[in-house]
């Protein structure tokens, strides 16, 4: 892949692998995260948290904590008065009410729920004193996951499902149980609040600063314009920082009450306990096939866990999973349901993929089992069922509109790139020699990007551009890609463009960075704002250079008249001409604002193939080969897109092979640290061949689609199918993620086949 440094060329910048302008700063300790911001007189907050998952709060004794030297205040719910509630995205009708308390009031409903907040002059003192708060809880009964109140519920039926199942030649069924996962960004949650002249300023490690402002305004009863929220550098989020938390509210409340800066930085263990979890759904499904391998009907029941309160996007994972079905496959008869149950656990919210992985693995497990049952090649059976490119855009029975894609081309590309026929031949040879080898596929589609985002573009007196986006950033390289988008629109070099984001005092409105939408929607807004700015500059320049507007040409930091005069003016002089001699270098001379509403929703897609080998003696899995073709539409920066794919791949492998939050029957978390929760490491990364096809999205101005979540969507299903294929000769068919060595060892060993085949030992 060609890599160019900003400055070596002008247009087109779209499609160039420009190196990230953020990296020097971020990799040399010059990033500025919430914990790097410590105003004069800053106080530090720590939480005393519920020791039980469910109980009646009998008493809180904070006397010992209050007596500690350096402790300034200890808050309990009684000190808070009446506070408002958080907002929940009403993405589906009939979402149940759920509690939202900054501190637990009469009862505790999850392990680790904040019960008291200790504010002290140092973070260490606050944490030590928090341990002295005595919380007396009378245990109450816990419902098992799947038994609690239903928070969201949806159903979709279409076609004649009963007849299709009656007429089927084969019916296959699968159950996929997703573990609860911890999003685990490098930087845990963190919030700092300061108060000055009645204005509240909140630094928050968040994906959605504008939403934090609105929620704080409602919860604390303040006008939103008196609140400024800043998302400075954010060290990863993955969906876990897309909602306000009780802790954020408590920090802001304490700062206002004490009239002092108050900071809380979540210890890693508090994030394990009380940051939102992801996944956790159990899906059961049946697919009816005719003998030719055509899938005729799909029945699916998706049961999600909600946790004890609802994040803003609480309904998104079940809704996404449901509306994606039946994925890239043309199946007319559907009987689908998705619901979520409240549980005595941390909130379960969006996590990289947010319902898309659940849909992808369910469908492709069914395809894989269908292929096995009908003895049709897994690539071939998928090919027979694909929605054709000619059928797009397609309005689906679940109410989605798949805007674009070419699923057959993806499958063909993976088959060719992997050398599929040779891989199958090698598998057969190795199996005959006693090896445990499998090949698996996943063909996924993913909704990514609808709705609106804002952008502002300006020419400053110093001749530089300032482009501000309402989308924020948590490590994606947004400043680099958005400068490329702006540079193309402005006919200039990205080096001349400063990108601003993550501060509600800058762009007037904004949405944030989530749902694989920022490039498609935020990038389109940026493109249009810069197009408009260019138009305004052209008008000015034409007047100044006394030429026709269509003769105005941009080059580097200058505007030329492309006529016999050859007259030109620098952008700085042009800006100076607008503002006159009073204009300071940073002052804005010409600006535009764009609130961009996408025409529809962009749908990305992709296909993964995995080849795995399992060591029969140890169960150790080796992912020998991964081939992955993704269609993210128009790609702004291939290098950064590939980086997103690699990150998603790591987290997708994490779900498939390693990660699992484990609670015991009493609701105690057994995996509360990175010693017990197995994140993938560099050494776990397999070799991967990444390629792309490009079908432009007709839904937004850039033609772009999302890519950041793709690895979490396609990789687990492909790896799972490969493992299922590997162990299929042993009759093992009840595997669930994570596919640990122990499970694989047992799968190979426990089956009667092993004793007679001589495959195992």
Interacting residues toward ligand SMO by CB under 6 A? 207, 237-239, 242, 350-352, 354, 514-515
Residue with tokens 């069922």: 385
Kind and range of the H or E element at 486?
Answer: helix 478-490
Helices (H), 581-677: 638-653
* Smallest gap from residue 690 Cβ to ligand SMO (A): 21
How far is 717 from 725, CA to CA, in rounded Å?
Answer: 12
Pairing of β 689-692 and β 621-631: parallel
Cis peptide before 326 (omega within 30 of 0): yes
* Smallest gap from residue 348 Cβ to ligand SMO (A): 12
How far is 376 from 373, CA to CA, in rounded Å?
Answer: 8
Buried b / exposed e across 186-202, counting CB within 10 Å, b at 16+? ebbbbbbbbbeeeebbb
DSSP, res 287: E
Question: In terms of Cα–Cα distance, which of 598, 595, 588 is closest to 507?
Answer: 595
Q: What is the DSSP string of 147-182?
A: TS-EEEEEEEEES-HHHHHHT-SEEEEEEEEPPEE-
* Smallest gap from residue 347 Cβ to ligand SMO (A): 13
* Smallest gap from residue 670 Cβ to ligand SMO (A): 25
Comparing CB distances to ligand SMO, the nearer of 263 and 352 is 352
Question: In terms of Cα–Cα distance, which of 199, 203, 225 is closest to 214?
Answer: 225
Helix (H, G, I), strand (E, B) or coil at 240: coil
Comparing CB distances to ligand SMO, the nearer of 279 and 464 is 279
How far is 497 from 488, CA to CA, in rounded Å?
Answer: 11
Comparing CB distances to ligand SMO, the nearer of 469 and 759 is 469
Comparing CB distances to ligand SMO, the nearer of 448 and 589 is 448
How far is 200 from 186, CA to CA, in rounded Å?
Answer: 27
Question: In terms of Cα–Cα distance, which of 127, 117, 119, 137 is closest to 52?
Answer: 137
Comparing CB distances to ligand SMO, the nearer of 220 and 314 is 314
Comparing CB distances to ligand SMO, the nearer of 514 and 707 is 514
Question: In terms of Cα–Cα distance, which of 289, 196, 189, 281 is closest to 235?
Answer: 189
* Smallest gap from residue 442 Cβ to ligand SMO (A): 19
* Smallest gap from residue 648 Cβ to ligand SMO (A): 11
* Smallest gap from residue 238 Cβ to ligand SMO (A): 6
Comparing CB distances to ligand SMO, the nearer of 515 and 635 is 515
Phi, psi for residue 688 in degrees, rounded to 5: -145, 135
* Smallest gap from residue 277 Cβ to ligand SMO (A): 12
Question: In terms of Cα–Cα distance, which of 359, 384, 356, 389 is closest to 371?
Answer: 384
Question: In terms of Cα–Cα distance, which of 45, 66, 65, 48 is closest to 57?
Answer: 48
Q: Tell me the β-bridge partners of 717.
A: none
Comparing CB distances to ligand SMO, the nearer of 351 and 720 is 351
Residue nearest to ligand SMO (CB): 239
* Smallest gap from residue 354 Cβ to ligand SMO (A): 4
* Smallest gap from residue 279 Cβ to ligand SMO (A): 11
* Smallest gap from residue 520 Cβ to ligand SMO (A): 13
How far is 434 from 729, CA to CA, in rounded Å?
Answer: 11
* Smallest gap from residue 479 Cβ to ligand SMO (A): 19
Dihedral angle at the C-alpha atoms of 612, 614, 615, 618, nearest 10 degrees?
130
* Smallest gap from residue 651 Cβ to ligand SMO (A): 10
Comparing CB distances to ligand SMO, the nearer of 296 and 352 is 352
Comparing CB distances to ligand SMO, the nearer of 353 and 667 is 353
Comparing CB distances to ligand SMO, the nearer of 238 and 253 is 238
Comparing CB distances to ligand SMO, the nearer of 350 and 386 is 350
Comparing CB distances to ligand SMO, the nearer of 475 and 583 is 475
> Radius of gyration over alpha carbons of the chain, in Å?
28
Helix (H, G, I), strand (E, B) or coil at 47: strand
* Smallest gap from residue 176 Cβ to ligand SMO (A): 19
Question: In terms of Cα–Cα distance, which of 627, 594, 589, 580 is closest to 521?
Answer: 594
Comparing CB distances to ligand SMO, the nearer of 214 and 369 is 214
Structure tokens at 560: 């030329």
Buried b / exposed e across 607-623, counting CB within 10 Å, b at 16+? bbbbbbbbebeebebeb
Question: In terms of Cα–Cα distance, which of 473, 436, 527 is closest to 640?
Answer: 473
């Amino acid at each position: 892949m060609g890599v160019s440094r900003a400055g070596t060329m002008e247009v087109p910048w779209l499609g160039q692998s420009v190196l990230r302008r953020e990296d020097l700063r971020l990799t040399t300790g010059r990033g500025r995260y919430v914990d790097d911001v410590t105003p004069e007189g800053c106080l530090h907050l720590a939480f005393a948290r519920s020791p039980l998952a469910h109980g009646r709060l009998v008493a809180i004794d904070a006397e010992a904590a209050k007596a500690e030297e350096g402790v300034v205040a200890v808050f309990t719910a009684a000190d808070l008065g009446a506070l408002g509630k958080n907002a929940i995205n009403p993405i589906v009708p009939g979402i149940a009410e759920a509690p939202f308390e900054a501190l637990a009031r009469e009862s505790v409903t999850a392990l680790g729920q904040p019960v008291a907040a200790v504010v002290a002059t140092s973070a260490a003192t606050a944490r030590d004193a928090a341990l002295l708060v005595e919380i007396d809880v009378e245990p109450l009964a816990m419902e098992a996951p799947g038994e609690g109140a239903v928070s969201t519920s949806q159903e979709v039926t279409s076609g004649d499902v009963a007849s299709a199942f009656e007429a089927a030649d084969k019916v296959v069924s699968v159950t996929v149980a997703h573990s609860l996962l911890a999003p685990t960004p490098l930087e845990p949650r963190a919030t700092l609040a300061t108060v000055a002249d009645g204005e509240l300023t909140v630094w928050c490690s968040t994906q959605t600063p504008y939403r934090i402002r609105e929620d704080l305004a409602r919860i604390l009863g303040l006008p939103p314009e008196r609140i400024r929220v800043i998302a400075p550098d954010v060290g990863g989020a993955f969906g876990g920082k897309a909602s306000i938390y009780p802790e954020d509210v408590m920090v802001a409340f304490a700062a206002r009450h004490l009239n002092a800066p108050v900071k809380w930085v979540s210890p890693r263990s508090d994030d394990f306990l009380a940051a939102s979890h992801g996944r956790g759904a159990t899906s059961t499904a049946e697919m009816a096939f005719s003998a030719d391998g055509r899938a005729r009907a799909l029945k699916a029941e998706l049961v999600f866990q909600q946790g004890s309160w609802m994040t803003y996007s609480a309904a998104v994972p079940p809704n996404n999973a449901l509306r994606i079905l039946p994925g890239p496959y043309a199946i007319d008869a559907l009987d689908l349901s998705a619901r979520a149950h409240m549980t005595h656990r941390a909130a379960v919210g969006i996590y990289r993929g947010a319902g898309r992985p659940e849909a992808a693995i369910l469908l492709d497990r069914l395809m894989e089992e269908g292929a096995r049952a009908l003895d049709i090649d897994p690539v071939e059976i998928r090919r027979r069922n694909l929605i054709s490119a000619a059928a797009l855009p397609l309005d689906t029975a679940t109410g989605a509109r798949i805007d674009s894609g070419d699923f057959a081309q993806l499958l063909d590309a993976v088959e060719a790139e992997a050398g599929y026929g040779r891989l199958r031949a090698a598998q057969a040879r190795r199996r005959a020699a006693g090896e445990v080898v499998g090949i698996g596929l996943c063909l996924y589609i993913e909704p990514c990007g609808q709705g609106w985002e804002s952008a502002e573009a300006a020419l400053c007196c110093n001749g530089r551009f300032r482009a501000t986006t309402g989308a924020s950033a948590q490590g994606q390289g947004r400043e680099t890609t958005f400068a490329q988008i702006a540079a193309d629109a402005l006919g200039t070099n990205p080096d001349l463009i400063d990108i601003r984001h993550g501060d509600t005092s800058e762009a007037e409105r904004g949405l944030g960075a989530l749902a694989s939408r920022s490039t498609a929607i935020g990038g389109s807004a940026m493109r249009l704002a810069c197009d408009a700015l260019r138009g305004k500059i052209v008008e000015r320049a034409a007047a100044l250079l006394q030429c026709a507007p269509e003769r105005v040409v941009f080059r580097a930091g200058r505007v030329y008249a492309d006529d016999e005069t050859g007259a030109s003016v620098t952008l700085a002089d042009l800006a100076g001409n607008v503002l006159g001699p009073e204009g300071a270098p940073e002052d804005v001379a010409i600006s535009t604002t764009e609130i961009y509403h996408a025409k529809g929703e962009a749908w990305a897609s992709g296909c993964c193939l995995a080849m795995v080998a399992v060591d029969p003696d140890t169960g150790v899995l080796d992912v020998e080969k991964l081939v992955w073709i993704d269609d993210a539409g128009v790609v702004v920066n291939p290098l950064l897109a590939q980086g997103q794919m690699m990150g998603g791949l790591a987290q997708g492998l994490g779900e498939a092979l390693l990660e699992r939050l484990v609670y015991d029957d009493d609701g105690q978390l057994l995996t509360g640290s990175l010693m017990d929760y197995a994140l993938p490491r560099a050494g776990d990364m397999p070799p991967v061949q990444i390629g792309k096809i490009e079908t432009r999205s007709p839904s937004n101005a850039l033609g772009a689609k999302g890519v950041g979540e793709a690895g979490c969507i396609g990789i687990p299903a492909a790896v799972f199918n490969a493992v299922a294929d590997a162990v299929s000769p042993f009759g093992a068919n009840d595997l669930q993620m994570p596919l640990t060595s122990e499970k694989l060892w047992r799968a190979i060993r426990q089956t009667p086949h092993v004793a007679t085949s001589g495959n195992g030992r």
